[in-house]
């Protein structure tokens, strides 16, 4: 740039300001400073090679995009990105794929077949569920899904 009006020496106050600003420059705020704590996947900024994608693909924050992800990816997002928009999107995508969340076991269930019994309080039959401790899908026969543990809020 240019200084059309000519340079003007800084006064003492401005020199003090610039000194404080320069020292603050040595530890400028990082993105994580103004975000909720991420326990499992904290931000870890690193300069990656330029030919590597620097930004995620466009529209990767839509339900349509999340529905194209594998169920395992959705489960990963659900359990490891708690309290984020991504978790919300993952839950939405799972619901659309007929997975239901069990609020007592904190696991996702899907009917493997039509339930053998359905009442006002529960249904019973064979279910697939995702075990977040063993990290895999399991089958459970004769399981009773009590509706009071069914997470049925509208995600909209």
**Residue ranges binding other proteins (CB under 8 A):** 1-8, 10-11, 14, 16-30, 32-34, 36-37, 39, 42-45
Nearer to other proteins, 32 or 62 (CB): 32
Shortest distance (Å) from residue 154 CB to other proteins: 15
Closest CA to 102 of 78, 76, 85, 86: 78
Can you count the helices (H) and strands (E) in the chain?
4, 5
Shortest distance (Å) from residue 146 CB to other proteins: 21
Nearer to other proteins, 113 or 152 (CB): 152
Shortest distance (Å) from residue 22 CB to other proteins: 5
Shortest distance (Å) from residue 11 CB to other proteins: 7
What is the rounded distance in angstroms from the CA atom of residue 90 to the CA atom of residue 74? Answer: 5
Q: State both tokens at 112.
A: 């493997």
- Note whether 87 and 78 are within 8 A (CB): yes
Nearer to other proteins, 25 or 52 (CB): 25
What is the C-alpha radius of gyration for the chain, rounded to an integer number of angstroms? 26
Nearer to other proteins, 20 or 118 (CB): 20
Shortest distance (Å) from residue 7 CB to other proteins: 5
Query: Cα dihedral sign for 57, 61, 62, 63?
Result: positive
- Note whether 155 and 88 are within 8 A (CB): yes
Nearer to other proteins, 20 or 155 (CB): 20
């Amino acid at each position: 740039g240019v200084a059309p009006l000519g340079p003007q020496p800084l006064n003492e106050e401005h020199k003090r300001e610039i000194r404080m600003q320069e020292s603050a420059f040595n530890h400028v705020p990082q993105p994580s400073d103004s975000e909720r704590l991420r326990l499992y996947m904290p931000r870890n900024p690193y300069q990656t090679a330029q030919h590597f994608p620097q930004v995620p693909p466009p529209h990767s924050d839509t339900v349509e995009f999340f529905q194209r992800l594998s169920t395992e990816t959705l489960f990963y997002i659900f359990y490891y990105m708690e309290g984020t928009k991504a978790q919300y999107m993952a839950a939405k995508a799972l619901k659309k794929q007929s997975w239901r969340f069990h609020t007592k076991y904190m696991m996702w269930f899907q009917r493997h077949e039509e339930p053998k019994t359905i009442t006002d309080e529960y249904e019973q039959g064979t279910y697939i569920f995702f075990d977040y401790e063993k990290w895999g899908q399991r089958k459970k026969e004769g399981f009773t899904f009590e509706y009071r543990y069914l997470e049925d809020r509208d995600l909209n």
